[in-house]
Structure 1
Amino acid sequence: MEKTIFTKEYKLLISLLKQARKDAKLTQTDVAKAIGEPQSFVSKVESGERKIDVLELWRLSLLYKKPIQHFFPFTKKEFSQKEKTVLKAATLDKNSK
């Protein structure tokens, strides 16, 4: 399975995060101070060097005044065949227990 950080969906998430920060008229330094992280944290998230976890995403969505759904505009139709296969296998495995 493709690493999440390299998927088109994750790249879109990162792009939307950067745009939301800019729309909020905040610098990476402003964001870092607001969330109690170093500026390098924000830079690494926005460059794709570091994955963001769900709680970090939630904190940023609050700071940027965007609903968390804003960062997930894709639909089920956009899942790749490989992802569909993995999801189906995970569901079958879960149901067999």
Structure 2
Amino acid sequence: MSLESLLSTRLLRAVSLSDSVYDGVILVTNCAKLVAETPVLKGVSEAVLDFIEVHRGALSSSNIVPVDKRVIPSGRLILAGTGPVNRDFDDVRRFQTAARNGVKL
């Protein structure tokens, strides 16, 4: 039995943010600086950075960030913050939890 057979919805990795096949994009991150420096996120980085600046807990929670529909056709970007990942006990599960919370949103 494959993992895909257990899922009620087919999950795909986006090749392009502007693909109209998706009804939203989930961005899992722990750092605003990484968002600003990642070339593929150039179209959404300004909206994400503005949102993070206004919402103090944005990098520790899941939030819907409205973005230009020319960049993401649905106009919805889900920012799923991991919170801090630099402590001794932090590991990849922080990213898993953030992604799961983003999907629930």
Range into which the TM-score falls when normalised by the shorter chain: under 0.3
TM-score of the pair, normalised by structure 2: 0.25
The structure richer in helix per residue is 1
The structure richer in strand per residue is 2
TM-score of the pair, normalised by structure 1: 0.26
Q: Which has the larger radius of gyration?
A: 1
